[in-house]
């Protein structure tokens, strides 16, 4: 389809994980405003926010446009989540998505978001077998996906070891405890966690273990407020909550849910209870699509202002003659009539 050259303010991400402020510099952005590069979010700047008690914002993105939007809104962290399996691919769980497909999502996001910290999810099945497998997958997410860090779920000893090995490979790791969607098989569904004393204590202990393994932050999903508060207080690293109340160091929501992407009159989609809808994009999309369809069907679109390509009058004549010589009289007439009517700005009835 026709695309014009795309002028945008976003700088191309050079897929380097080296922030500009380090000793060895890093690739210089090619535009004049290098201040943009200086503002890039790193694990260091997140640490600063956490220390100053400034809440950290995280939103998921899965493709180039959503990444551009998350970047322009000034969100701190952009998570390329395996929730893509559900919101982008239409599955009922996060399990079906492969690492290769996740990497495509990561690359698309990296092209669109140059400022936020980029975290790529390790999808179900690519890191649970062994620490070796986990490190290999994490390496791919950074090398091929262009991410700054990875996220993995769970707190079993093997997971803690995997997280440690990944950190030792030089890759920043964000943990994820509480409701871990990749484990719904064992959990028996998307069930909130930490609702009993034992479970609550476990959440805190797991978060601490992940901190010890070297994680730079931990996501707390769907646990009661007090449990999240306890974990947040016990940790030196920031917690990022989702359905975990207001006492975390930051919050994360799924792009489509917070935008109301699936909400529109004919299609009720139940958003998770903890997610506030900050927009009704689905409704706006439905209206726009319906209007376009209607204008096509009553032939209002395209009008003259959306019919930009012209052929000179002489050429139209030449064209019509040539068509007649080919025996295509109807076509010749249609061309001539179209040229006339284009000038008069009158609709021609369909030539069927």
The least CB distance from residue 264 to another protein, in Å, is 7
Of the residues 221, 295, 297, 340, only one is catalytic, namely 221
- Distance of CA 62 to CAs 73, 79, 268, 278, Å? 16, 8, 23, 19
Q: Is 221 a catalytic residue?
A: yes
What tokens were used for 174? 């964000």
Instruction: Label the pairing between strands 239-242 and 77-80.
Output: unpaired
Please give the structure tokens belonging to residue 338.
Answer: 């179209």
How is residue 246 annotated by DSSP? T
What is the footprint of another protein within residues 279-308 (CB under 8 A)?
Answer: 279-282, 284-293, 295-297, 299, 301-303, 306-308
43 near another protein, judged by CB under 8 A: no
CB 156 to another protein: min, Å:
19
In three-state secondary structure terms, 115 is coil
Name the packing angle between helices 197-213 and 225-234 (round to 10°): 30
Tell me which residues in 249-268 interact with another protein (CB under 8 A). 249-251, 253, 256, 258-262, 264, 266-268
- 6 contributes a contact to another protein by CB under 8 A: yes
The single residue among 134, 218, 222, 237 that binds another protein, judged by CB under 8 A, is 222
Residue 143 or residue 347: which is nearer to another protein going by CB?
Answer: 347
Structure tokens at 348: 């021609």
- Range 83-122, binding another protein (CB under 8 A): 86-93, 101, 104, 107-108, 111-112
Find the radius of gyration of the CA atoms of the chain. Answer: 26
User: Is 230 an interacting residue with respect to another protein (CB under 8 A)?
Assistant: yes
Region at 95 (left for phi over 0; alpha for psi -120 to 50; beta for the rest): alpha
Is 311 a binder of another protein (CB under 8 A)?
A: yes
The residue (of 156 and 311) whose beta carbon lies closer to another protein is 311
Applying CB under 8 A, does 130 fall inside the site for another protein?
no
* Active centre residues (catalytic): 221
């Amino acid at each position: 389809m026709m695309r014009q050259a795309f002028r945008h303010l976003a700088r191309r991400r050079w897929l380097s994980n080296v922030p500009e402020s380090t000793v060895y510099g890093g690739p210089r952005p090619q535009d004049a405003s290098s201040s943009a590069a200086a503002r890039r979010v790193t694990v260091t700047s997140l640490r600063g926010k956490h220390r100053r008690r400034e809440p950290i914002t995280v939103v998921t993105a899965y493709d180039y446009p959503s990444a551009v939007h998350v970047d322009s809104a000034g969100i701190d962290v952009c998570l390329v989540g395996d929730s893509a399996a559900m919101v982008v691919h239409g599955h009922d769980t996060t399990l079906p998505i492969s690492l290769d497909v996740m990497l495509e999502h990561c690359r698309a996001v990296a092209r669109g978001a140059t400022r936020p910290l980029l975290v790529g999810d390790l999808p179900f099945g690519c890191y649970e077998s062994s620490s070796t497998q986990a490190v290999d997958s994490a390496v791919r997410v950074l090398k091929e996906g262009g991410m700054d860090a990875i996220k993995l779920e769970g707190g079993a000893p093997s997971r803690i070891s995997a997280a440690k090995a990944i950190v030792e490979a030089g890759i920043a790791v964000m943990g994820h405890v509480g409701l871990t969607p990749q484990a719904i098989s064992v959990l028996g569904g998307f069930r909130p966690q930490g609702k009993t004393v034992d479970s609550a204590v476990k959440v805190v202990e797991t978060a601490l273990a992940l901190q010890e393994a070297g994680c730079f932050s931990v996501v707390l999903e769907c646990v009661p407020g007090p449990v999240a508060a306890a974990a947040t207080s016990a940790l030196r690293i920031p917690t990022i909550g989702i359905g975990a109340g207001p006492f975390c160091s930051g919050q994360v929501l799924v792009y489509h849910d917070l935008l109301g992407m699936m909400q529109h009159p004919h299609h009720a989609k139940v958003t998770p209870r903890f997610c506030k809808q900050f927009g009704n994009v689905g409704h706006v999309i439905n209206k726009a699509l319906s209007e376009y369809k209607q204008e096509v069907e009553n032939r209002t679109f395209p009008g003259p202002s959306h019919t930009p390509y012209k052929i000179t009058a002489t050429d139209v004549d030449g064209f019509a003659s040539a068509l007649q010589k080919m025996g295509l009289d109807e076509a010749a007439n249609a061309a001539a009539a179209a040229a006339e009517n284009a000038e008069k700005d009158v609709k021609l009835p369909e030539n069927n």
